[in-house]
Amino acid sequence: MADLDNKEQAELDPADMEDVEEVEEEETGEDVNSKARQLTVQMMQNPQILAALQERLDGLVGSPSGYMESLPKVVKRRVNALKNLQVKCAHIEAKFYEEVHELERKYAALYQPLFDKRSDIIKAVYEPTDEECEWKQEEEEELTEEMKEKAKLEEEKKDEEKEDPKGIPEFWLTVFKNVDLLSEMLQEHDEPILKHLQDIKVKFSDAGQPMSFTLEFHFEPNDFFTNTVLTKTYKMRSEPDESDPFSFDGPEIMGCTGCTIDWTKGKNVTLKTIKKKQKHKGRGTVRTVTKTVPNDSFFNFFTPPEVPESGELDEDSEAVLAADFEIGHFIRERIVPRAVLYFTGEAIEDDDDDYDEEGEEADDEEGEEEADEENDPSYDPKV
């Protein structure tokens, strides 16, 4: 029987043998692809394998691709020359931001008279004229003169029933409560104090001095502390870090200092008194001990963590300072220049619209990805 098989094989045409070999190779390739697909499905269904793979991929982020190492030495030299040029660009950019700071100082002086007048209106020092108070609102439907007159009479009647308030009561407290970043810091015991806040000003460092800005919180006389102004100063730097010059992305806040609040006795909301019972180990007697401990309050804003000379902070202090820098920058950049729009809520609506637009864009991109997957003949929704 074996001789017969050998004889039949010998009688086959060599061309036929080539065809057989090619078919066998094709079948082998399909088997490999099938096994690869099965392995992929198993990996996708196993969360442990996926997690391990993701960990490996995360470890590769930021690692050299090997491309630079593969370049000829003469090309590497030229790339190093480009990097040296980039460092010089970073130093020029730092000078640019220094001049921007000078412009901020210049225009701050132009804005200040307007902010002072705003403060006078809020404090009832100045009563604006009818012309200054006229504001043309966009109405969805045109009202007849009769309807306008009726609305005006009803508004005047309401005003007569109420007491005539002075200025704009609780202006800054309302701003704080309207802004999530600030309202998160507020405690119920802070609100009676912030009702006395009359103005917030931004003061820039003098020309020729290190870059910095100071937030000034002006208070009317109150029963909580004797200070009329509470300050918070932020020190800034606009120069590349010698150890990492390519990370430079404009001025950064390097540290901040608060001020001492001269609290009236018993009014310090940043501290609270608690009572603890202690049992004597020997006698077994129990005594009550009173302790003073820190308390959550907006006014902790004026006592930030101190940065040691080494510059090293624990994680909690770093987190507090990072949030502090964000709040200080937000008050300077947004709250002070646009306070009335945060009081009315219009600036908050604008911010919300921005986030909605970003969400829509993200949804659109996700929808496009889903559509691409569905159009892919190899896409399996079960995987």
Q: pLDDT digit string (tens) for 22-81?
A: 444 444 556 656 666 676 666 566 666 666 666 665 555 445 557 888 888 888 888 889
Do 239 and 200 form a contact (C-beta atoms < 8 A)? Answer: no
The pLDDT score that the predictor gives to residue 261 is: 97
pLDDT at 374 over 70: no
* Mean pLDDT of the residues in the chain: 77
**Phi and psi at residue 358, to the nearest 5°:** -65, -40
Binned at pLDDT 50, 70 and 90, residue 10 comes out as very low
Residue with tokens 């606009």: 238
pLDDT at 106 over 60: yes
Question: Global pTM?
Answer: 0.66
Residue 335 DSSP one-character state: I
SS3 184: coil
> Between residues 81 and 241, which one has the greater pLDDT?
81
Task: Write out the two tokens for 94.
Answer: 């730092």
Rounded to 5°, the CA angle 241-246-251 comes to 55
Binned at pLDDT 50, 70 and 90, residue 113 comes out as very high
Assigned domain for 200 exists = yes
The pLDDT score that the predictor gives to residue 45 is: 64
Q: Where are the alpha helices (DSSP H) in the chain?
A: 2-11, 14-45, 47-60, 67-70, 73-122, 130-133, 145-161, 171-178, 180-183, 191-194, 315-330, 339-344, 346-375
SS3 248: coil
The pLDDT score that the predictor gives to residue 182 is: 94
Percent of the chain whose predicted confidence (pLDDT) is above 90:
34
Assigned domain for 243 exists = yes
64: buried, middle or exposed (CB in 10 Å: 19+, 13-18, 0-12)? Answer: exposed
The pLDDT score that the predictor gives to residue 139 is: 53
The pLDDT score that the predictor gives to residue 236 is: 83
Percent of the chain whose predicted confidence (pLDDT) is above 70:
65
**Phi and psi at residue 255, to the nearest 5°:** 180, 170
Q: Rounded distance, CA 200 to CA 121, Å?
A: 14
Assigned domain for 368 exists = no
Q: Which residue segment(s) compose the domain that 325 sits in?
A: 79-128+167-258+305-344
pLDDT at 91 over 50: yes
Binned at pLDDT 50, 70 and 90, residue 144 comes out as low
The pLDDT score that the predictor gives to residue 157 is: 61
Task: Write out the two tokens for 8.
Answer: 């039949």
The pLDDT score that the predictor gives to residue 47 is: 63
CATH code where residue 210 lies = 3.30.1120.90
363: buried, middle or exposed (CB in 10 Å: 19+, 13-18, 0-12)? Answer: exposed
SS3 372: helix
pLDDT at 107 over 50: yes
Per-residue pLDDT tens digits for 254-310: 788 999 999 999 999 999 988 887 777 777 787 888 888 999 999 999 998 877 666
Assigned domain for 111 exists = yes
Mean pLDDT, rounded, for 353-379: 48
pLDDT at 381 over 80: no
24: buried, middle or exposed (CB in 10 Å: 19+, 13-18, 0-12)? Answer: exposed
Binned at pLDDT 50, 70 and 90, residue 14 comes out as very low
Assigned domain for 206 exists = yes
pLDDT at 8 over 80: no
| Lowest-confidence pick of 43-52, 193-202, 224-233, 365-374 | 365-374
pLDDT at 9 over 90: no
| HSE of 236, CA atoms in CB hemisphere, 13 A | 19
Beta bridge partners of residue 286, listed in sequence order: 279
Mean pLDDT, rounded, for 208-212: 85
Strongest mean pLDDT among 11-25, 213-227, 282-296:
213-227
Assigned domain for 365 exists = no
Per-residue pLDDT tens digits for 149-175: 666 666 666 555 566 788 999 999 999
The pLDDT score that the predictor gives to residue 185 is: 93
SS3 197: strand
Assigned domain for 45 exists = no
The pLDDT score that the predictor gives to residue 281 is: 76
The total of structural domains in the chain comes to: 1
Per-residue pLDDT tens digits for 314-360: 777 778 888 888 999 999 999 999 999 999 999 886 565 554 444 44
Assigned domain for 295 exists = no
